[in-house]
Structure 1
Amino acid sequence: MRLRLAAAAALALTITACAPSTSAPAPGATDGGPRTGALKVWLFDEPNRAPKEAVVKEAVTEFTAAHPDTTVDVQYIAVDTRSERFKGAFNDPASAPDVVEYGNTDLPEYATAGGLADLGAVVGNWPEGADLAADAKASATYRGTLLGVPWYLGVRALYYRTDVLAELGLKPPATLAELTSTARAVRAAKPDMFGVAVGGKYTFGALPFVWANGGDITSIDSAPSRAGLTAYTALIAEDNCPPQNCADLTGGKTVELFASGKAAMGILGNFNRAAVDAGAAKGRYAVVPLPGLTAGSIAPAFAGGNNLGIMKNAQRPALAADFLTLLASRKYQARMYDAMGNLPTLKPASAEVVAKDPFVKPFVDTIGAGTRFVPLDPGWGKIDASAVLPTMIEKVATGKATVDEATTEAAKLIDEALTP
């Protein structure tokens, strides 16, 4: 398959709808507009918004103290309808906010619409900008233009039951091959337990196997990609996680299996900690980075997360840049971790949260080893909405197609969806 777009580094938020198409480059946001008055900010609403809102209020208080005659109007918008809200703001400058939070997989849609400002100069002039993780920064860059500041990330690592492995005399896997052998050993010794919870519909559990083998989404029918898919689907088998139980499992279902004590291992996110601690596995598990092909290596993980950006139609771009860099600073990234468990994108902030909470070290180490991302192309929305990758995995897991057949079919659909 012809490689049309390199995948960059980084929750996956589904790209929806179709924004107005313009190709004009986004203007910079280093200067311009009144430096007083009301700054408009859109942030995502959360199921439990209070802790996030408290941190944001603290940042607003600090900002307004340093910017006399300025107010900050923060609106919390629903994630499910964000695409429509952004599309309206792109078309109507009068309704556009100044600073926005958006999902990093939303970037191609918004960039194609020409609705976001170029933040290259903002980050270049921001002393803390040099501390941004390179892969996170790449996931906020569209065709060479930085259109956001990565605010937080979420990645997956390997959770394992310390008591089960100790009972069986097993160590945490140091390679992907050892992950398979360890999972099979658990299943053989404990037939009522899955070795590692995996699922045919768990795209972001499967992709590290593909990436670790040198494959990619945009070359899914290549030999390295097929090797990774073969390794992953081999785990959806009677000797680990039987197809009748696991072929249609989503990532959420694998979390439930591990949390409930029905699986000895699981590829779960830092954001799944509360769910695991609410189940039977609480107090009986640990986490290590998902290993790669060789001992000491780490399999690349998908880095989902959210960015902070400035609207092209912002009325106060210079003031917006000041507020954005304050909210994205080490100080407030660390506070957002305390409030919401969001992994920072600034290296000093990451080090700070690891020092306070060693649980997150495997996830921070995973980020440090290099993360991957979905294709930064408007066509990714179609690929995601059509479930091209989970359908491919599930067909192999259920025996409806060979790895070669399934990847050939998926490659055609991916290639057709991505921009030439």
Structure 2
Amino acid sequence: MKNRILAGAVALVSSVALGGCGYFSDSGSGDRTVTVWLMKDSVSQGFLDKFTESYEEEHPSVDLEFKIQEWSGIGPKVMSALKGDDAPDVIEVGNTQVAQYAVSGGLRDLTLESMRDLGSDDWIPGLAQPGSINGVQYGIPWYAANRVVIYNKDIFEQAGIKTPPKTREEWIAAGEKLNRDGNQGIYLAGQNWYVLAGFIWDEGGDLADENGGDWEGALGTPEALKGMEFYKELQALGDGPTDADEEKPPQTDVFARGNVAQIISVPGAASLIEQKNPELKGKLGYFPIPGKTAKAPGSVFTGGSDLIVPKNADQRSAGIEVVKALASEKWQTELVRTMSYVPNKPSLARVIGDEEGTVAMAAGATEGRATPNSPQWAAVEAENPIKPYMTAVLQGGDPAEEAKAASERITAMLTGG
């Protein structure tokens, strides 16, 4: 499953686009070639040049070949590679894609390397958990991105709000102050289900639960219903549509009009907003999605990438060494500073510097989570019964009844029904 948040974040923060389906390689001086599939726009050409030069200097017997892949259709392409005779040695995959690839039996077990060499006990949960299936680590966390609140500093100042809210209660109170005088307190589309997931996780619930190996939808639990209740309260503090997601219309376009106090998005969205309305340049701020208390930010969906190694790759051992390098502190630091991502470990947040949006994103990432770790979750997102459930509740439907119907549909998709 391609993570939409990551796709959006990557498109916004990439400084140099990579040509789709192309490749980057060195001059071919080594006696082994390690082939790495990376996703389009994940990193800049400058980062690849720097990494390749350094790695090949330290490993003179290795040539690196990076082949750039499109997100569209990547699932079947990876599955085919895992079953074939010509698999790449390393593949970048969306963090929530790992389960569907692991169930094929075609991935190398990286548990030992993750514990011995990579400090897995310090990884961001939203990257580490999806990469682990039944206690086996198949995916090594590479980088992350998650949503924050982007706000209009002028509108906050006009409403007398001097500091960003740190709790849900403060957030609602601020939204009520902001939602007047022709301004929207927050623009939140009715079907922004990744945001809803965070509120549900804050309450102790989930989108689906596993019981003895069987998965079932969990939107009808008391905890999940509380999450939806808060979403409804927050969404009412603006004029976001109840029957569309954040792309219809693009919420950056709406925010750029200048009368919206807040949106929930990846920090890179600010650059699009400023392009559409240059008068907002320098007037945008960021803060983590507030939690139930000030002790920690709210839970967020962590989009990002893991690195996997196919069992049938020609250079499995050499591929693992490349993975270890890309996930190391040295290259995590370079990646974060080049691409404005969140590093794979909270302890590396210090390398971010003072870039306000990335700092807010890293703070939120400490409470990051991922979607249910079922190989069938991609089917749920493809049809996505969560979206019409949200619309039904926001338009006055009975939350419990609507949640029950949506959960039954999720259960059927997770069990092949």
Same fold (TM over 0.5): yes
TM-score by length of structure 1 reads: 0.83
* Corresponding position of 1:5: none
- Give yes or no for contact 2:5–2:266 (8 Å, CA) kept in 1: no
State which of 252, 255, 258 in structure 2 corresponds to 1:255: 252
- Give yes or no for contact 2:337–2:351 (8 Å, CA) kept in 1: no
Deviation at 1:135, TM superposition (A): 4.1
Q: What do residues 38-88 of structure 1 show as CA deviations (whole Å, max 9, x unaligned)?
A: 111111112xx7x62221222222222222332112111111121122122
Deviation at 1:241, TM superposition (A): 2.2
In the alignment, structure 1 residue 404 sits paired with structure 2 residue 400: yes
State which of 99, 105, 122 in structure 1 corresponds to 2:113: 122
State which of 369, 381, 386 in structure 2 corresponds to 1:384: 381
Q: Sort the Cα spacing of 1:291 and 1:340 in 2 relative to 1 into closer, same or farther, 3 A.
A: same
Separation of aligned partners in 2, 1:387 and 1:376: 16
- Give yes or no for contact 1:396–1:406 (8 Å, CA) kept in 2: yes
RMSD between superposed Cα atoms in Å: 2.4
Deviation at 1:102, TM superposition (A): 0.6
Deviation at 1:128, TM superposition (A): 5.1
In the alignment, structure 1 residue 413 sits paired with structure 2 residue 409: yes
In the alignment, structure 1 residue 81 sits paired with structure 2 residue 68: no
Equivalent residue pairs, number: 378
* Corresponding position of 2:165: 173
User: What percentage of residue pairs aligned between the two structures are identical?
Assistant: 23
In the alignment, structure 1 residue 274 sits paired with structure 2 residue 271: yes
Separation of aligned partners in 1, 2:31 and 2:345: 29
Separation of aligned partners in 2, 1:141 and 1:99: 17
- Give yes or no for contact 1:89–1:96 (8 Å, CA) kept in 2: yes
* Corresponding position of 1:323: 322
In the alignment, structure 1 residue 365 sits paired with structure 2 residue 356: no
* Corresponding position of 2:238: 241
Please show how residues 125-144 of structure 1 align to structure 2 within 5 Å. 125-127=116-118, 129=120, 131-144=122-135
- Give yes or no for contact 1:128–1:329 (8 Å, CA) kept in 2: no
Q: What do residues 350-399 of structure 1 show as CA deviations (whole Å, max 9, x unaligned)?
A: 2111x25243222111122x211100102211211112111111111223
Separation of aligned partners in 1, 2:292 and 2:118: 37
- Give yes or no for contact 1:213–1:224 (8 Å, CA) kept in 2: yes
- Give yes or no for contact 2:126–2:301 (8 Å, CA) kept in 1: no
Deviation at 1:131, TM superposition (A): 4.2
Deviation at 1:268, TM superposition (A): 1.4
Q: What do residues 16-41 of structure 1 show as CA deviations (whole Å, max 9, x unaligned)?
A: xxxxxxxxxxxxxxxxxxx9411111
In the alignment, structure 1 residue 285 sits paired with structure 2 residue 284: yes
Please show how residues 18-417 of structure 1 align to structure 2 within 5 Å. 36-46=31-41, 52-93=44-85, 95-127=86-118, 129=120, 131-171=122-162, 172-188=164-180, 190-191=181-182, 193-218=183-208, 219-237=218-236, 240-242=237-239, 245-252=240-247, 253-280=250-277, 281-353=280-352, 355-368=353-366, 370-399=367-396, 401-417=397-413
Q: Sort the Cα spacing of 1:385 and 1:127 in 2 relative to 1 into closer, same or farther, 3 A.
A: closer
Letter in 2 for 1:329: S
SS in 1 for 2:261: strand
Q: Sort the Cα spacing of 1:129 and 1:381 in 2 relative to 1 into closer, same or farther, 3 A.
A: closer
Separation of aligned partners in 2, 1:210 and 1:268: 18
TM-score by length of structure 2 reads: 0.84
- Give yes or no for contact 2:6–2:145 (8 Å, CA) kept in 1: no
Separation of aligned partners in 2, 1:78 and 1:409: 35
Between 1:255-264 and 1:210-219, the stretch displaced more is 255-264
Q: What do residues 84-132 of structure 1 show as CA deviations (whole Å, max 9, x unaligned)?
A: 2212212212x10001101112112111112221111122231555543
Separation of aligned partners in 2, 1:350 and 1:174: 20
Q: What do residues 267-321 of structure 1 show as CA deviations (whole Å, max 9, x unaligned)?
A: 1113423223324333112111111122343110000101111111111111111
* Corresponding position of 1:6: none
Letter in 1 for 2:143: Y
SS in 1 for 2:368: coil
Between 1:315-324 and 1:165-174, the stretch displaced more is 165-174
Separation of aligned partners in 2, 1:295 and 1:37: 52
Separation of aligned partners in 1, 2:114 and 2:330: 17
- Give yes or no for contact 1:331–1:349 (8 Å, CA) kept in 2: no
Q: Sort the Cα spacing of 1:128 and 1:145 in 2 relative to 1 into closer, same or farther, 3 A.
A: closer
Structure 1: 5+ residue runs without aligned partners? Answer: 1-9, 14-34
